[in-house]
Amino acid sequence: MRTWNNVAIVGVGLIGGSIGMALLQRKLAKKVIGIGRRLESLEVARAHGCVSQVTTNLAEGVAEAELIVVCTPVESIAGFVQHTAQHCPPNCLITDAGSTKAQIVAAIEGANLNRTFIGSHPIAGSERSGPDAATADLFDDRVTVVTPTSQSSDVALAALRDFWESIGSRVIEMSAADHDIVLARTSHLPHLVAAALAAATPASEQTLALTGMGWADTTRIAAGDPELWRQIFLANRDATLKALADFETVVKTWRDALQSANGPLLIDLLREGKRRRDAVGS
Amino acid sequence: MRTWNNVAIVGVGLIGGSIGMALLQRKLAKKVIGIGRRLESLEVARAHGCVSQVTTNLAEGVAEAELIVVCTPVESIAGFVQHTAQHCPPNCLITDAGSTKAQIVAAIEGANLNRTFIGSHPIAGSERSGPDAATADLFDDRVTVVTPTSQSSDVALAALRDFWESIGSRVIEMSAADHDIVLARTSHLPHLVAAALAAATPASEQTLALTGMGWADTTRIAAGDPELWRQIFLANRDATLKALADFETVVKTWRDALQSANGPLLIDLLREGKRRRDAVGS
């Protein structure tokens, strides 16, 4: 496994902080430089063991980087990648950790960086955020999708795969477009549904007192950061709308089954949901 | 706290088994008699510490009971309550653990039992089922709703409250109708939504490999027993349909916000979901 002399992380929240912590604890990087806007937050990240050095100066932070991981909210990723590309060494590998890929990859490849960028999406995280929620094992047994294009070299792709695997992740290659279609169904639609279910629950004290584990599980991700999720939904509107349409079709069948008190149809619907759920496991 | 000489549990699955185990471990009952159809399953419950004795003969099982808890699927509760009432001592208190209440309570009170019945619903459980999933702490810090009527005596109600509190639960009194309206929103709609979301997820290996914690949490309860849930949905159709209509209204707003790429509306929707979710906690 490759070790790095100098890794720069732009945006040291839960994901960026966990990447840095995993690299440092496994001694896979000598220096992990955390780059952000607010020194106070960066110092929290350093104190928590997420990074070894911090700076608010992006150009200085990436000046000697061998690897840069941009972990900012999705709307700002392409801009930060372009900015880091202007200041990092020529052979530096740049990647990101954004929850959407097609818009980001297209914007970066359209900018002709003269640096190597391949998109990544580590499918890990929680409803918590910030560097104090970071853990070194966040990526253990999780999947990271990497989205090479015809512009991506085999050498860079191998290095990127090795990087994610070195911090515990399995790696899957997909096109950015396919990634967004699949994630609309496995992540973005679930977030929409969880948020809608929570919002549709009356705010009365009595109602909220009678929520059990089922409600708690089903709505858990609705606690996520609204601004981060606004950006994700806007960056993956089309695929999310298609996924939503399929969900609405199933819900319509549920409505029909309830209205007509159709027990056999209810059993079919429940079994189909259970079958897909059981196929994944806890 | 009252201790019991003889408690009968009809239907020793996750809930019935956990009640028995809690009573025995806390030494709140001398005998806990498990009553069911299949001796094999009852022996599993006894081996697991859920009950002290077992029988497939309901009349014999309740002959000396001071308390009977009917923990069968909702469609069979009223029938079992009536059956036990014909064979138990005159001063025996009968309750249940059904997830719906109005139909059950109406059927039982309409039958003029000549025994004391007050409905209960312990809001506890998991997607697992069966006596081997039972735990003595299942009700700790959970809420049990009890649904007395004008026919319920204060003495019986006090005994029932004491019983649920003795095994760790908080107790809330509501009418059976109010219970069903609230639970449609806090339990039955979430189950519908989780099952629909799971069923709307393409069954391809690639898609299922890219589900993360969000999908897993949001669909977890879809793994529940389809037959138990068919009965719950049919017993609480009207309230569930009303809750579903409210959910569909929120989803429609989501669809509009995505179609029009309305960032401020997406933020409002996400914030509203987060606000309700944060009000409940983990």
Across the interface, of A190, A201, A258, the residue whose CB is closest to B218 is A190
Per residue in A1-24, pLDDT tens?
Answer: 789 999 999 999 999 999 999 999
| A55/A8 same-domain check | yes
pLDDT in tens, A61-89: 999 999 999 999 999 999 999 999 999 99
* Residue A224 touches partner B, C-beta closer than 8 Å: yes
- Are residue A26 and residue A164 in the same domain, yes or no? yes
Cβ within 8 Å, pair B273-A248? no
In B, minimum Cα distance to A190 occurs at B215
Angstrom distance (rounded) from CA B75 to CA A69: 56
| pLDDT score for B127 | 65
Q: Are residues A154 and A230 in the same domain?
A: no
* Interface contact A192-B254, CB threshold 8 A: yes
Q: Residues of B with CB below 8 A from A129's CB?
A: none
CB–CB of B226 and A274 under 8 A?
yes
Closest partner residue to A233 (CB to CB) among B124, B266, B274 is B266
User: So what's the pLDDT on residue B170?
Assistant: 97
Shared-domain flag, residues A154 and A22: yes
Say whether pLDDT at A126 is over 90. Answer: no
Which residues of chain A make contact with B135, given a CB cutoff of 8 A?
Answer: none
Number of domains in chain B: 2
Which of A220, A254, A280 has its CB closest to that of B192?
Answer: A254
Report the predicted TM-score, pTM, of the whole model to 2 decimal places: 0.94
Q: Are residues B49 and B163 part of one domain?
A: yes
* Residue finishing a domain among B123, B142, B174: B174
Which CATH number goes with the domain that contains B32? 3.40.50.720
- Dihedral Cα B263, B265, B267, B272, nearest 10 deg: -170
Is A182 near chain B, with CB under 8 Å? yes
B-facing residues of A in 63-92 (CB < 8 A) are none
CB burial of residue B155 (10 Å; 0-12, 13-18, 19+) = exposed
Looking up residue A269, the CATH number of its domain turns out to be 1.10.3660.10
User: pLDDT tier at B118 (50, 70, 90 boundaries)?
Assistant: very high
CA distance A210 to B143: 7
Is residue B147 domain-shared with residue B183, that is, in the same domain? no
B183 interface with A at CB cutoff 8 Å: yes
B231 and B102 together in one domain: no
Which residue from B minimizes the CA distance to A121? B210
- In the listed set B112, B147, B174, which residue is the last one of a domain according to the structure? B174
For residue B161, is pLDDT > 70? yes
Contact residues on chain A for B210, CB-CB shorter than 8 A: 123, 143, 145, 172, 182-183, 186-187
Residues B81, B213, single domain; the answer is no
Nearest CA to CA, how far is A242 from chain B (Å)? 10
Asked if A168 and A183 sit in the same domain, the reply is no
Question: Between A186, A199, A224, which is nearest B212 by CB?
Answer: A186
Q: Kindly give, in sequence order, each residue whose CB lies less than 8 Å from that of residue B130, ignoring residues fewer than 6 positions away.
A: B13, B14, B17, B41, B44
Assess whether B195 and B80 both reside in one domain.
no
The predicted pLDDT at position B1 comes to: 79
Give B174's Cβ-side CA count (13 Å radius): 23
Please check the confidence at residue B264 and state whether its pLDDT lies above 70.
yes
Contact B215 A123 (CB under 8 A): no
In chain B, the residue whose alpha carbon lies closest to the alpha carbon of A144 is: B210
The residue of chain A with its CA nearest to that of B210 is: A186
| ipTM reported for the complex, 2 dp | 0.94
Contact A230, B267 (CB under 8 A): yes
Question: Residue A127: which pLDDT band, with cuts at 50, 70 and 90?
Answer: low
Same domain? A99 vs A169 = yes
What does pLDDT average to over chain B? 96
Domain that holds residue A74: 4-174
Regarding whether A217 and A158 lie in a shared domain, the answer is no
Listed by number, the residues of chain B in 225-244 with a beta carbon closer than 8 Å to a beta carbon of chain A are 226-227, 229-230, 233-234, 237, 240-241, 243-244
Using pLDDT thresholds of 50, 70 and 90, give the confidence band for residue A188.
Answer: very high
DSSP secondary structure of A148-205: --TT--HHHHHHHHHHHHHTT-EEEE--HHHHHHHHIIIIIHHHHHHHHHHHTS---H
Question: Mean pLDDT lowest for which of A199-208, A264-273, B166-175?
Answer: A199-208
- Over residues B108-134, the mean pLDDT reads 91
Q: Which chain A residues are Cβ-neighbours of B228 within 8 angstroms?
A: none
Contact in structure between B14 and B74 (CB atoms under 8 Å): no
What is the model's pLDDT at position A128?
Answer: 77
**What DSSP state is assigned to residue B188?**
I
Question: pLDDT > 70: what percent of chain B?
Answer: 99
**Record: contact B223-A277, CB cut-off 8 A:** yes
Query: Does B247 reach chain A within 8 Å, measured CB to CB?
Result: yes
Amino acid found at B266: L
**Tens of pLDDT along B209-251?**
999 899 999 999 999 999 999 999 999 999 999 999 999 999 9
